[in-house]
Amino acid sequence: MTSAAGQPRSRRWDLIGNRNFMLLWCAYGISALGDHLSEMAILKTQNAASSDVDVTPLDARMTFLFFVPFFLLAPITGWLADRLPRRSLMITADLVRCLVMVSFVVLMAWTVPWGTWGPFMPLLLVGAFAALFSPARSALLPTLIRPHQLIRANGMISGLGVIATMVAIQIGGYLADHFEPVYAFRIDAATFLGSAVLLWMLRAPPQLSQTARKRGMSETARQLVGGFRYAMCHRRVWELLAIAALVWFCGALVKCVIPAVVRDAYGYTENYQAMSTYRAFLGAGFILGALVITVLGNALRSEIAIILGLFGIGSSIAVFAASVFLPVELFTRAVIGAVGVVLAGMFGVMVIASFNTLLQRIVADRYRGRVFGVRDLCTTAALLLATGLLGVPRWARLDDWVGYILIGVAVVTLAAGIINLGVHLHRSMLGTRLTLGEHLNEFLAKCWWRFQRIGPSTVPREGPVIIAANHACSADPVFLSAAVPYRPISFLVAQEYANWPIARSIMRLIECIPVRRETRDADATKQAIRHLRAGKALGIFIEGRIVPPGQAVEPKDGVAMLALRTGATVIPAHISGIIYRDGIVKGLLTRHRARIRLGKPVDLSEFGAGRSNRETVKTVTRKIFTAIQSLAPCEDSSITADRHYQHDDTLEQSNESA
């Protein structure tokens, strides 16, 4: 198989083996290095490390001017990313930024007389072409990789970008302490040139440019408006944009106050290296977050990662704020602050990577560039609002209030996490406890047992349904529930397991039905019938017990009997990828590579409904079991349904289904 970009697919290292992705990844990292390398050099031109200089407004003005073009040009750059070849746009943006940085000293000499904002005016040019680069990169990424790789790809890109940012800040701080600013500007220019070379080596899918040429220039205005309409008419999209705007607003405030906190609260005066180090701590947190996202992959839903990230950001900023006010020695304050900054970065990148992944998944390719342009517009507007509040008014000693600014950021972010959690639970049809339980179940299945559902889910969203599956290990109920996360599945379970301390609470929550396996349990049968007639879902393992590989087993008639008596839909399911272990606990502790396939409903219309004779039940059992076995992957095809019937074709009617 090949990737979307025509690259050979590797089972474990498919992204690293994808040449186009790796070129984009490295180019973005080098470009991110250039975006931040000159920050400390620019602050040095304003003597920002001096204790009598208010550094927070200076940092805010620098950030404000860099991002103004993102706000003003976002709709146009997004439209260009949909209309023109995205790789060419990125190369152009890098080359122009290279030229700007080469001539940065000259540009500053022209703009310094323009007042307090003058020294930062050349950043408008750098920001303008960074705004062109951003939506083109975000829109190009999904065309180079497979859809299931998006979360890992975004995690890798976020991680590398932050590593580059952290390295750039450290290098920039060192250069500011030991050299004139011009050296930082020249090195900065070289990074953009290197990024352009890597992008030139990338080969984007040709259909993008071919599609773009078909669009007429007369439709430009309509297409620009179409990007906004698409974003605003899709509730999930504009909700994600609102979350991103909030994170950027709070992140800009935190970034701007870091130098003042380091200088005044921790006692590092006249030290650009210390200021850059704490921004590097923020980058270290980004790296941790990127690693978490990359390792978890699809195990943690992006929606849940965003909610957890908001709570994490709020708590981390609260720790950072506490370092300003705690009556402890300066070194202890500095350590507490470093912990808060690192954690804030970690949770921040979880939100950003998950947000980008969701947008890339739910937005069609023909709109993707414009929607990411709208994203840049919204996030930049939030950033400009934050930096404008700090940099535009002439505050008297704003640095004295940075601790209270951090407290406000923590409160706002925690409130956003609570609101998002409430909205998520309100929209769920399962209720609070079941929703949280389903998310935890899905996370464990995907993270520990590497679970994956192959193909779509065929289980109806409502009505009585029986999911009939083979039984490969003790974690099979977890896999079935993870395969159908939109409705709870109850199970017939052996009586001896229903009384285990932890298992008892879980089984009550999902309404499992205990069964005495040594006898014909009429009470369990009645409960199962009532359960199905109430329109609920029931999971049954047709073999009645965990079956070792290659062992012949006689399927039980309980599924057929319940289906015929209740008219419930029967969905066959096959579980594979299991490492057999003898024992319940061993099966749970073993790391499987679980796979499940859900088939089409088994057609039982020819048998009618209500009570049926033994022969009908046995025929239906054979049909259901054959449907389950037909879903087995190729390597398991030698175990056929007929083999399991070779011992006895006159089975007693039984409701042993646990």
Ranges of each domain in the chain? 19-208+222-427, 432-644
Q: 369-403 in b/e burial notation, b at 16+ Cβ within 10 A?
A: bbbbbbbbbbbbbbbbbbbbbbbeeeeeebbebbb
Give 457's pLDDT tier (boundaries 50, 70, 90): confident
Give the number of other CB atoms < 10 A from CB of residue 505: 10
Q: State the Cα–Cα distance between residues 604 and 539, nearest whole angstrom.
A: 18
| pLDDT average, residue stretch 513-533 | 80
* 541 pLDDT higher than 60: yes
* 183 pLDDT higher than 60: yes
Six token digits for residue 21: 């992705």
3-state secondary structure of 598: strand
Q: Strand 595-598 and strand 569-576: pairing? A: antiparallel
Greater confidence (192 vs 177) lies with 192
| pLDDT average, residue stretch 20-47 | 82
**CA distances in angstroms from 6 to 17, 18, 25, 206, 332, listed in the order given:** 11, 9, 17, 11, 53
Give the number of other CB atoms < 10 A from CB of residue 147: 11
19-208+222-427: CATH, from 1.10.287.70, 1.10.1660.10, 3.30.930.10, 1.20.1250.20: 1.20.1250.20
Which pLDDT does position 12 carry in this prediction? 41
* 626 pLDDT higher than 70: yes
Instruction: Give residue 295's identity as a one-letter amino acid code.
Output: V
Which pLDDT does position 9 carry in this prediction? 40
Q: State the Cα–Cα distance between residues 30 and 182, nearest whole angstrom.
A: 19
The phi and psi torsions of 494 (rounded to 5 degrees) equal -65, 140
Greater confidence (642 vs 554) lies with 554
* 84 pLDDT higher than 80: yes
* 269 pLDDT higher than 60: yes
**CA distances in angstroms from 339 to 293, 318, 348, listed in the order given:** 20, 11, 14
Which pLDDT does position 416 carry in this prediction? 92
Which pLDDT does position 53 carry in this prediction? 74
Which pLDDT does position 339 carry in this prediction? 92
Share of the chain above pLDDT 70, in %: 86
Q: State the Cα–Cα distance between residues 226 and 239, nearest whole angstrom.
A: 18
Q: Are 527 and 575 in contact (CB under 8 A)?
A: no
Mean residue pLDDT of the chain comes to 79
Which pLDDT does position 227 carry in this prediction? 67
pLDDT tens track for 346-359: 898 888 888 888 88
| pLDDT average, residue stretch 513-529 | 78
Which pLDDT does position 417 carry in this prediction? 92
| pLDDT average, residue stretch 495-506 | 72
Predicted TM-score of the model (pTM)? 0.67
| Residue 13, CB-side half-sphere exposure with 13 Å CA sphere | 4
Which pLDDT does position 408 carry in this prediction? 92
* 214 pLDDT higher than 70: no
- Vertex 595 angle, CA 465 and 448, to 5°: 110
Which pLDDT does position 162 carry in this prediction? 65
Six token digits for residue 258: 């870091």
Alpha helices in 112-206 (DSSP H): 123-144, 150-178, 181-201
Q: State the Cα–Cα distance between residues 270 and 252, nearest whole angstrom.
A: 23
If you average pLDDT over each of 83-92, 146-155, 405-414, 476-485, which comes out highest?
405-414
Greater confidence (128 vs 295) lies with 128
CATH number of the 432-644 domain: 3.40.1130
| Residue 514, CB-side half-sphere exposure with 13 Å CA sphere | 12
The phi and psi torsions of 466 (rounded to 5 degrees) equal -115, 125
Q: State the Cα–Cα distance between residues 86 and 321, nearest whole angstrom.
A: 42
Which pLDDT does position 297 carry in this prediction? 67
